[in-house]
């Protein structure tokens, strides 16, 4: 491998772009964390210190502050959690012109992590909220206020607190929301997602029920604040009682009042009377707080619904399947066309085939994108489970014929296939580095196939000037999925006298059946074939050495163990001043 003279754009000019974007504000973990803490603290203090909450605080104590503070953080997170699942919006933002800085664009890769962080916060704060409200229901019953009856949620002192849970709107909706949340959370665990994705998917769609319940939950109006602070400073009604029954009045009021009443003089009764008239002109009036949840949720919820509607309209016309190719090792390639379908390399689409399943949708990365001159695009599917198996059976004739490429006119009667997308992925970014390291494990090769296909059509428009492509497979036959493409790419850059542009390394991790070497047709690949798993550390050292002082974009699609290893190595220091920037895959 020789050194390459770089002719590309000056490195990282785009880094200078504006960071103050929507993406930066919402997906930045520090900003999000600070917002949560600030909101919790501010609301807690507001209910702890605020004169308008004096009477209700006296009745409910810290339970009031904790329930309101947790509710405000829940509002924030229930609205933010919807943003990372607006896939079309994220794909739109990923387009390099919309978010000029790569650093900001890379935050989009964390959209799934951000969604999970909001989800976990919702669970934890829901726990706090529920616990605080359980204490509140008890206090509503025990501290029934005979002076201000309208402040009470209980109908009489000592009313069974369980009644609030099952007879009031906030109580009943709260119980239902806890149940829905429990279902959603338990079905979101890694074990369920891997073993039965459908359970995860269907229960996750209960989010809509959750939001509906939330809207009713907040309209209950059980917690009331005082509206007439001018004519009734909080606590003034207790003045006489304070002196006789030792009831505490609030600090701000006591201070003011004791200035008017210095000591217990004989004139104090007159003074008290006069001052009470002046300070406490009328009975306190209470009003239910305005349900702020509407303000928080309605924007993101409308955005999400609008996006779903748009996706629904966009995907309601079926694609035309041009050809179906059966590849070795249980992989099927589908080539299709659709009017006005545009996509960038690295993006994925969601397939929906009603003949296979009326409800299921499955994501697949585009291996070939439509271009200005060619409308065809394609995906490679590995048969791994029931949906892919049934889909394959509908696409391919039962004869077990190895390969089928039929001309358009003679095409078989394929089942109706709808596609949704395209949606963005971190792999799109691989063309925006001067040097990229793309590592694929097995069928994880698909996003890189579309990158290579795009380079075939022309590389000059991109920043990329050197691509290390590493592909690890278990059996030799798997390399055939893209052996033709790899050969054509290799030949193109040799013919253009740029042999260093693409560095291909194929690794065969299992040695069984090694005698079936790739074949004469793919001679160029034979010399790039290694046996066993790659030695990652040595590979990183080699790349660092040949790309001194540069920033190398690292991309991985495949088993998570490879991903973890690459992430760790990318964060390690090297003596050549080369920086490895790991781009996290995020399949939301
Ligand atoms: C963004 C993305 C791109 C993908 N690209 C490709 C590709 O190019 N080629 C390819 O062969 N595979 C790809 N996959 C994986 C593919 O979606 C699953 O293999 C397929 O959905 C399996 O469905 P099944 O019912 O046959 O198998 P199952 O036995 O139901 O599932 C097998 C595995 O796939 C996962 N899975 C199942 N359904 C879904 C779903 N609706 N969404 C996400 N994951 C699911 C499960 O967690 C499970 O671990 C991609 C997945 C994602 C998330
Ligand atoms: N295509 C996509 O866009 C896409 C999207 C999402 C997810 N995926 C994921 O991609 C993965 C690929 O599936 P697959 O069944 O084709 O893969 P696979 O056959 O299980 O593994 C592919 C290769 O990776 C090797 N490997 C595993 N861990 C390694 C490590 N730490 N270091 C080096 N090599 C390692 C394996 O080697 P050994 O034989 O030694 O184990 C094997 O040769 C799946 O996990 C799938 O979920 C793909």
Q: What percent of the chain has pLDDT over 90?
A: 59
| Residue pointed to by tokens 């069974």 | 160
Mutate-to-test residue for ligand 1 from 193, 334, 368, 388, highest number of ligand atoms within 8 A of CB:
388
| Residue 379, pLDDT score | 97
Higher pLDDT, 101 or 445: 445
Closest CA to ligand 1's atom 17: 363
DSSP characters for 33-81? HHHHHHHHHHHHHHHHH-GGGHHHHHHHTHHHHHHHHHHHHHHHHHHHT
pLDDT of 524 reads: 72
The residue written with tokens 């545009």 in the block is 342
Can you tell me the mean pLDDT for 42-59?
Answer: 93
Strand pairing report for 502-508 and 529-531: parallel
Half-sphere exposure of residue 338: CA atoms within 13 angstroms, side-chain side? 23
As given in the structure block, the two tokens for residue 392 are 């394959």
Is 247 exposed, middle or buried (CB count within 10 Å of its CB: 0-12, 13-18, 19+)? Answer: middle
Q: Which two tokens stand for residue 354?
A: 């009603």
Q: Is 11 exposed, middle or buried (0-12, 13-18, 19+ CB in 10 A)?
A: middle
pLDDT tier, 278 (very low <50, low <70, confident <90, very high otherwise) = very low
Residue 55: partners with Cβ closer than 8 Å, 6 or more residues away: 145, 148, 151, 226, 234, 284, 286
Q: Let me know: does 15 contact 512? Beta carbons within 8 Å.
A: no
pLDDT band at 407 (very low <50, low <70, confident <90, very high): very low
Ligand nearest to the backbone CA of 556: 2
Interatomic CA distance for residues 59 and 505, integer angstroms: 71
**Three-state DSSP class for 288?**
strand
pLDDT band for position 3 (cuts 50, 70, 90): very low
pLDDT digits (tens, 9 = 90+) for 356-374: 999 899 999 999 999 988 9
Mean pLDDT of 267-285: 57
pLDDT one-digit tens code per residue, 250-269: 554 445 444 443 343 443 44
pLDDT of 519 reads 59
CA of 387 to the centre of ligand 1 (A): 9
Separation of alpha carbons 558 and 560, rounded Å: 6
443 CB less than 6 Å from ligand 1? yes
Above 80 in pLDDT, residue 464? yes
Residue 204: helix, strand or coil by DSSP? Answer: helix
CA dist., res. 183 & res. 495, Å (int) = 58
Q: Is 393 in the pocket of ligand 1 (CB under 6 A)?
A: no
Atom of ligand 2 nearest to the CA of 587: 6
Q: For ligand 1, atom 48, name the residue with the nearest CA.
A: 194
Cα 557 to ligand 2 centre (Å): 8
pLDDT surpassing 90 at residue 396? no
C-alpha of residue 536 to centroid of ligand 1, in Å: 27
Q: Are residues 118 and 74 in contact, defined by beta-carbon separation less than 8 angstroms?
A: no
Looking at the predicted structure, is the pLDDT value of residue 271 above 60? no
Please indicate whether residue 363, judged by its CB atom, sits closer than 6 Å to ligand 1. Answer: yes
Contact predicate 343/445, CB 8 Å: no
Nearest CA to ligand 2 atom 40: 509
Q: Residue 245 pLDDT > 90, yes or no?
A: no
pLDDT level of residue 289 (50, 70, 90 thresholds):
confident
Q: What are residue 441's DSSP bridge partners?
A: 472
364 lines ligand 1 (CB under 6 A): yes
Backbone angles phi, psi at 118, to 5 degrees: -65, -40
Decide whether any atom of ligand 2 lies within 6 Å of the 533 Cβ. Answer: yes
Q: Whose CA is nearest to atom 40 of ligand 1?
A: 362
The stretch 103-129 carries a mean pLDDT of: 91
E strand spans, 405-546: 418-423, 435-441, 466-473, 502-508, 529-531
Higher pLDDT, 493 or 405: 493
Q: Is the CB of 535 under 6 A from ligand 2?
A: no
- Does residue 452 have a pLDDT over 90? yes
What Cα–Cα distance (Å) separates residue 34 from each residue in 37, 118, 231? 5, 13, 38
Q: How many helices (H) and strands (E) does the chain have?
A: 22, 14
Residue in 173, 18, 33 with CA at minimum distance from that of residue 117? 33
Assess contact for 451 and 431: CB atoms under 8 A: yes
- Span from the CA of 107 to the centroid of ligand 2 (angstroms): 25
Q: Is the pLDDT confidence value at 74 over 90?
A: yes
Do the Cβ atoms of 364 and 420 come closer than 8 Å? Answer: no
Residue 196 has pLDDT above 50, yes or no: yes
**Which residue's CA is the nearest one to ligand 2's atom 24?**
441
Residue 563 and residue 442 in contact, taking contact as beta carbons nearer than 8 Å: no
For residues 508 and 411, give the distance between their C-alpha atoms in angstroms, rounded to a whole number: 36
Average pLDDT over residues 530-556: 93
The order of strands in the sheet holding 579-583 is: 529-531, 502-508, 466-473, 435-441, 551-557, 579-583
Token readout for 290 is 């305005």
Q: How far is the CA of 362 from the centre of ligand 1 (A)?
A: 6
Nearest CA-CA partner of 136 in 68, 76, 72 = 68
* pTM, rounded to two decimals: 0.84
Please indicate whether residue 90, judged by its CB atom, sits closer than 6 Å to ligand 2: no
Ligand nearest to the CA of 327: 1
Q: Ligand 2, atom 34: nearest CA belongs to which residue? A: 533
Which range (104-118, 298-312, 315-329, 427-441) has the least confidence?
A: 104-118
Of the two residues 122 and 263, the one the predictor is more confident about is: 122
Q: Does the C-beta of 537 come closer than 6 Å to ligand 2?
A: no
pLDDT tens profile 494-534: 999 998 999 999 999 887 655 455 556 667 777 788 888 99
Which pLDDT tens digit goes with each residue over 412-444? 689 999 999 899 999 999 999 999 999 999 999
User: pLDDT tier at 323 (50, 70, 90 boundaries)?
Assistant: very high
Comparing 16-20, 260-264, 569-573, the range with the smallest average pLDDT is 260-264
Span 470-496, mean pLDDT? 93
Per this entry, what is the length of the chain? 588
Rg (CA), the chain: 32
| Nearest-CA residue for atom 13 of ligand 1 | 364
């Amino acid at each position: 491998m020789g050194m390459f003279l770089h002719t590309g754009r000056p490195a990282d000019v785009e880094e200078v772009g504006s960071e103050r974007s929507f993406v930066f504000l919402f997906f930045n973990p520090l900003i999000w964390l600070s917002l949560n803490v600030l909101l919790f603290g501010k609301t807690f203090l507001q209910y702890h210190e605020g004169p308008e909450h004096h009477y209700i605080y006296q009745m409910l104590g810290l339970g009031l502050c904790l329930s309101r503070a947790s509710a405000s953080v829940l509002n924030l997170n229930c609205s933010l959690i919807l943003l990372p699942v607006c896939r079309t919006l994220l794909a739109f933002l990923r387009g390099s012109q919309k978010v000029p800085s790569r650093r900001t664009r890379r935050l989009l890769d964390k959209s799934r992590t951000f969604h999970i962080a909001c989800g976990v916060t919702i669970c934890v704060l829901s726990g706090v909220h529920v616990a605080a409200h359980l204490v509140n229901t008890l206090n509503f019953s025990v501290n029934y206020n005979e002076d201000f009856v309208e402040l009470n949620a209980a109908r009489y002192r000592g009313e069974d607190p369980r009644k609030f849970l099952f007879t009031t709107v906030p109580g009943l909706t709260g119980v239902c929301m806890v149940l829905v949340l429990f279902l959603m959370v338990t079905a979101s665990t890694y074990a369920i997602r891997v073993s039965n994705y459908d359970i995860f998917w269907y229960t996750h769609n209960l989010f809509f029920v959750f939001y509906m319940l939330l809207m009713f939950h907040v309209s209950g109006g059980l917690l009331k604040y005082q509206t007439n602070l001018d004519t009734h400073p909080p606590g003034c009604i207790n003045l006489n009682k304070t002196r006789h029954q030792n009831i505490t009045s609030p600090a701000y009021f006591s201070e003011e009042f004791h200035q008017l009443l210095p000591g217990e003089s004989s004139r104090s009764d007159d003074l008290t009377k006069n001052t009470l008239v002046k300070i406490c002109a009328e009975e306190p009036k209470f009003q239910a707080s305005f349900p702020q949840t509407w303000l928080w949720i309605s924007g993101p919820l409308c955005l999400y619904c609008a996006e779903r509607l748009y996706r629904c309209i966009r995907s309601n016309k079926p694609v035309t399947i041009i050809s179906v190719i059966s590849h070795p090792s249980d992989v099927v390639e589908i080539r299709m066309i659709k009017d006005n379908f545009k996509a960038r390399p690295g993006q994925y689409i969601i397939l929906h085939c009603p003949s296979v399943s009326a409800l299921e949708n499955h994501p697949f990365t585009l291996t070939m994108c439509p271009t200005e001159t060619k409308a065809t695009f394609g995906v490679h599917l590995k048969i791994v489970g029931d949906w892919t198996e049934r889909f394959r059976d509908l696409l391919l004739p039962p004869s077990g014929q190895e390969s089928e490429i039929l001309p358009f006119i003679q095409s078989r009667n394929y089942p109706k296939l709808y596609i949704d997308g395209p949606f963005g992925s971190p792999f799109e970014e691989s063309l925006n580095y001067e040097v990229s390291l793309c590592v694929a494990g097995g069928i994880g090769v698909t996003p890189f196939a579309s990158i290579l296909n795009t380079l075939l059509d022309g590389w000059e428009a991109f920043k990329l000037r050197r691509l290390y492509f590493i592909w690890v497979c278990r059996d030799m036959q798997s390399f055939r999925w893209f052996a033709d493409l790899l050969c054509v790419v290799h030949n193109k850059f040799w013919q253009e006298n740029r042999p260093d542009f693409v560095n291909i390394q194929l690794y065969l991790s299992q040695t069984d059946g090694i005698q079936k070497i790739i074949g004469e047709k793919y001679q160029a690949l034979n010399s790039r074939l290694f046996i066993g798993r790659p030695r990652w550390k040595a590979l990183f050292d080699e790349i660092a050495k040949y790309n001194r002082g540069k920033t190398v974009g690292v991309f991985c699609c495949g088993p998570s163990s490879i991903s973890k290893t690459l992430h760790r190595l990318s964060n390690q220091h090297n003596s050549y001043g080369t920086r490895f920037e790991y781009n996290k895959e995020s399949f939301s």
